[in-house]
Amino acid sequence: MTTISTNLQAVRARIAAAAEMAGRPPESIGLLAVSKTFPAEQVREAAGAGQLAFGENYVQEGLAKIAALEGLGLEWHFIGPLQSNKTRLVAEHFTWVHGVERLKIAERLSGARGAGRPPLQVCVQVNVSGEASKSGVSPGDTATLAQAVATLPNLRLRGLMAIPEPTDDMALARRRFSTLRQLRDTLNEAGLALDTLSMGMSHDLEAAILEGATLVRVGTAIFGERART
Ligand SMILES: *Cc1c(COP(=O)(O)O)cnc(C)c1O
């Protein structure tokens, strides 16, 4: 067994244990393997261990891996900050975009995706910690942005995404994730049909799952420490 396949098993076991604690079926939680900074060969290894969904933060790096691993049936998620001059490449080559925080970016993604393909799956990113340095729309502005994104023709708004501040305080982590879940619930009561809460990473996936995460994004616990971030 390789390190990556051992790590994947351990992460799947953590997800299953947290799901049990939350009284949720483990299959209700998807695992996105965050492969940023790691070479295509390590993604191939993870794919060999049954992992098919991968997250990338940097456009050029992601495109190189997508090209190198074509034909393996992998699903690519763009999870990094997205500048408007990169929207076309992302809309053409990725299946999901997690970090939509401005309507202008969403409009460009929709235009670049075009009508001939399945819609691009997107999440609106919310700044649940209220830190000025963090990406994401404020909780108070989330509904307006989400409603506007939901009307765009070539996007399918799937849910919300957040990256709370790192903390060892489980109660604080749960509060942040709970904020995202409540926003999702409110939007669904207002008529949207959001099925995705993209939240939880290597250090806090348990807290996220206890608060309803449907997709955890895990890098370090699968691939190891990154040389740069
Ligand atoms: C890097 C990254 C992750 C993975 O973080 P780990 O702590 O390595 O698990 C998840 N989500 C986003 C948006 C990231 O940029």
Interval 56-92: pLDDT, tens: 999 999 999 999 999 999 999 999 999 999 999 999 9
Domain regions of the chain by residue span: 4-223
Handedness of CA 24, 27, 29, 33 (dihedral sign): positive
Interval 91-109 mean pLDDT: 98
- Residue 119's φ and ψ, nearest 5 degrees, are -60, 150
- 175 alpha carbon – ligand 1 mean position (Å): 19
Specify the ligand 1 atom closest to the Cα of 220. 8
Topology of domain 4-223, CATH: TIM Barrel (3.20.20)
Q: Which of 101, 128, 201 should be mutated for ligand 1, with most atoms under 8 A from CB?
A: 201
pLDDT tier for residue 132 given thresholds of 50, 70 and 90 = confident
Mapped onto helix, strand or coil, the DSSP state of residue 133 is coil
pLDDT at 1: 64
Of the pLDDT bands very low, low, confident and very high (cuts 50, 70, 90), residue 229 is low
CA-derived radius of gyration, the chain: 17
What pLDDT, on a 0 to 100 scale, did the predictor assign at position 114?
Answer: 86
Distance 164 CA to ligand 1 centre (A): 11
> Which residues have CB under 6 Å of ligand 1?
34, 36, 57, 79, 163, 201-203, 217-221
